[in-house]
Amino acid sequence: MNGEANKKNNLKNAGMANIFFLGMVSFFTDLSSEMVYPLIPLYLTAAFGATPALIGVIEGVAESLASLLKVFSGYVTDRFKKKKATAFAGYFASLFYKAALIVAGSWAGILAARVIDRAGKGIRTAPRDVLVSESADKGAMGKAFGLHKALDMSGAALGILITYFVLHGMGDGFDYKRLFLIALVPALLGLAMFLFIKEKKERPPKEREPFWKNIRKVDGQLKLYLLVVFVFTLGNSSNVFILLKAKEAGFDAVSVILLYFVFNITASVLSVPCGKLSDRVGRKNLLVPGYVTFSLCYLGFAFANGRWQMAAVFIVYGVYTAMISGVERAFVAEAAPPELKGTMLGLQSTVAGIALLPASVIAGLMWTVFGAEAPFVFGAALSLAAAGILILFMKNKKIHA
């Protein structure tokens, strides 16, 4: 009995170590990326005179084109069982992205760099999530994805904080490209974490049914959730619009970055508790309040006209992120057939990516034509619609250890 108990404890510890190092890959990669991301709309505006509409097109094209890779990456993961190698290739693209930003000489160059970055995310997301789900204890999928998300968001928060102090020290004449160069260092550290990650060895099947035949095995509840993801994402435009709205509310280019730090640190602190809570009460009971919170948050972005109001809305935005991000991945990983886990995790991201191009373009046009409040009111309405679909049609499955 003691031998069996020790074996279970060793497997549990190995699983948690794997999740931790996968989280550290994301920690360093997001540290690197978030040193750069809040600067992109500011850099496009300052260096190339980009308008909100053009920024919306750039972000929408980058996110949507890259997201098409996510379902393909998930299929490759299921087909060839090379989860670690595929994830590594995707994270390597993040390193290449920073180098591309340094040499870009026009908004088209920034677009190309953003596509490289998002393509890397499209390649790595599904195999990484499969590795997390395979390392999780039974009945603790929400906790596992919550831990990964917490490390991911804490890395992002640290990256943003570094950027804030660097830019604050440089004053008005700061050099964007110097910061892009510094961001290469944590990207390299993230790749080094792969040395500690273990992969469950599996032989790829000799024969595999085509995707369109396997998809018939997918549970109706998962298909319903993919519809919800699409509806919700149509109103969830790129975060660059949130940063631009904060600037309009009176924050300068440097203090806007500090607001983004508040958002990330809030999400980081709450991700594990929200993941554990979803393990106890069921995914639906976190997803529905999460979408409602997003709706309230976007209404806040629409009508907040003071600095303290805007800061409070950024905190609420972090709460929403903690309630949704890890929980939805746990739901998809559990609901998908085992032989389609990578494909469905990738498909969920692809569905969101397909909706993100029109979402960002619509947001940019609505901002330009109707004013800065319009895209946020539109997003709030669609989020409530998504919550309504879940309330009416989704079953709530509680997970027990």
- Residue-level pLDDT, tens digit, the chain, 401 residues: 455 555 555 556 678 899 999 999 999 999 999 888 777 877 887 777 777 778 777 776 776 666 677 778 888 888 878 889 999 999 999 999 998 988 888 888 888 888 888 888 888 988 999 999 999 888 889 999 999 999 999 999 998 888 788 777 665 566 788 888 889 999 999 999 999 998 877 766 655 555 555 666 777 888 899 999 999 999 987 777 887 888 888 887 777 878 888 898 999 999 999 999 999 999 999 999 999 999 999 999 999 888 889 999 999 999 999 999 889 999 998 888 888 888 888 888 888 877 877 887 888 889 889 988 999 999 999 999 999 999 998 887 654 33
In a domain? residue 205: no
What's residue 4's pLDDT?
55
Question: Count of CB atoms within 10 A of residue 215's CB?
Answer: 15
In a domain? residue 208: no
Burial category of 122 from C-beta neighbours within 10 Å (exposed 0-12, middle 13-18, buried 19 and up): buried
What CATH number corresponds to the domain at position 179? 1.20.1250.20
Angle at 81 between CA 88 and CA 189, to 5 degrees: 15
d(CA 92, CA 232): 30
Per-residue pLDDT tens digits for 183-228: 999 999 999 999 999 887 776 665 555 555 566 677 788 889 999 9
In a domain? residue 289: yes
In a domain? residue 116: yes
Question: Count of CB atoms within 10 A of residue 210's CB?
Answer: 7
What's residue 173's pLDDT?
61
Q: Which amino acid is at 145?
A: F
What's residue 65's pLDDT?
67
What's residue 399's pLDDT?
44
Domain count for the chain: 1
What's residue 189's pLDDT?
96
In a domain? residue 257: yes
Domain span at 368: 2-197+214-393
Distance between terminal CA atoms of the chain?
20
What's residue 228's pLDDT?
94
d(CA 376, CA 386): 15
Q: Which amino acid is at 192?
A: A
Could you tell me the pTM of the whole model? Answer: 0.84
What's residue 211's pLDDT?
54
In a domain? residue 398: no
In a domain? residue 400: no
CB of 387 closer than 8 Å to CB of 293: no
In a domain? residue 225: yes
Residues ≥6 apart with Cβ < 8 Å to 365: 53, 56
What's residue 323's pLDDT?
95
